[in-house]
Amino acid sequence: MRHFFSQLVPQSIKNILWHFPQAVLAAYWYGFPGRKLKVVGITGTNGKTTTTTLIGRMLEAAGKKVAMASTIAMRINGTERVNATKFTTASPWAVQRFLRDATEQGCEYAVLEVSSHALDQHRVWGIHFAAAVITNVTREHLDYHHTLEQYREAKEKLFQVADRGIVNLDMELPETFLRLTKQVVTYSTKQRAADVFAEDINIDFHLSRFRVDDVSFSLSLPGLFNIENALAMIATGRVLALPLEALQQALRETGGIPGRMELVPNNRGIDIVIDYAVTPDAFEKLYATVLPLKIPGTKIIHVFGACGERDRGKRPIMGKIASKYADVIILTNEDPYYEDAEKILDEIQAGIERKKEGESFFRIFDRRAAIRQALELAEQGDIVLITGKGAEETMALGTKRIPWKERRVIEEELVKLPQQVA
């Protein structure tokens, strides 16, 4: 019933009558802790969590006391707990309480992953941002923002309350962000004019290497998009005047980030990748990473679905992208919320081309069974992509939250597979 009535009230009214007053009350109640810290905010469609994590680790490597809040974790002075809320940015009460706890524990810095919903709903009101980072803006959350322009405008709100901006020149239309802060540092893998430019790029499944201004960096995360995330960290380090050694150490020592291009070790000679990819752009970047690493004669098997009550228009686009690059597609359930899960799969399937059901295309509603099918089909040298859930620990079905850990399920299903004959 609450869900039904919530849909009847325009979001703009909810923002004015509910979200903004809540944000103001929370900030006053906790004493505006965000004004006592040097806060870095990271926003964008893709790459926010990885960039947030890298910046937090960079500050720790520099010997700073830092708090970090991302989609997957909340961390204060090295003590970390899982973010179980399924929200990128929590309620204003939770955000302000987190920052209050950070100040009480002596933190000097806070690094916050900031979503477009949070910006539109004033969840970070009252926080002074020393720096704002934009990773990219591509199609996402149009169920909420309605147009890409309104989505972009929501992201811009972070830059309007920040002292300095860090902008990815490789993103579409970076100009709008370049003019929103007095001081801007840019980064790029394509444009030498950027303040932070990566060259001599070398990528494999386990390590990415590149140079910036004749200084070598290595990163234990694959993908050009992760090099972009690393450049955002380096640019932030420059803005905060951190030592070069801290930047190198953070990249070198930050291993796999749960649910972000996470490799699952196994003894079957297959590359199993867990990734949160939930947008067409994230799919393109994922395939841009794995295709050059694919061994001739092997397969890419992709298990995915789409979240319910989100932008329906992206579903066939994601299906089309997967059908272009994957050899085998397995559609499955993924957080349907109140939507009919089968209809979600229908909308993804509408974009799938040149696949024969039962051979190169499967619909398996049960996500565990879908993962099992992918692992049974995989042979030595194959790549298995399992996307959409990442490091989340629940699956949303209506009002129910069903326990779910993607990596654990994969490991359990690997054990059940027949032993390979030597």
pLDDT, one tens digit per residue, over 265-303 is: 999 999 999 999 999 999 999 999 999 999 999 999 999
* Boundaries of every domain in the chain: 9-253, 262-416
Average pLDDT on 130-140 reads 89
> How far is 346 from 96, CA to CA, in rounded Å?
41
Whether this prediction's pTM lies above 0.85 is answered by yes
CB 116 within 8 A of CB 25: no
Q: Distances in Å between the alpha carbon of 166 and those of 30, 48, 105, 225, 402?
A: 29, 13, 28, 16, 38
List, for residues 316-372, the tens digit of each pLDDT value: 999 999 999 999 999 999 999 999 999 999 999 999 999 999 999 999 999 999 999
Would you state the CATH architecture of domain 262-416?
Alpha-Beta Complex (3.90)
Average pLDDT on 60-89 reads 90
Query: Predicted confidence band at 142 (pLDDT cuts at 50, 70, 90)?
Result: low
Whether the pLDDT of residue 256 is over 90: the answer is no
Whether the pLDDT of residue 1 is over 50: the answer is no
Nearest to 292 by CA among 375, 201, 228, 368: 201
Percent of the chain scoring above 90 in pLDDT:
82
Exposed/middle/buried for 296, CB within 10 Å: 0-12, 13-18, 19+? Answer: exposed
Query: Predicted confidence band at 87 (pLDDT cuts at 50, 70, 90)?
Result: confident
Q: What is the DSSP letter of 418?
A: P
pLDDT value, residue 4? 47
* Topology (CATH) of 9-253: UDP-N-acetylmuramoyl-L-alanine:D-glutamate ligase (3.40.1190)
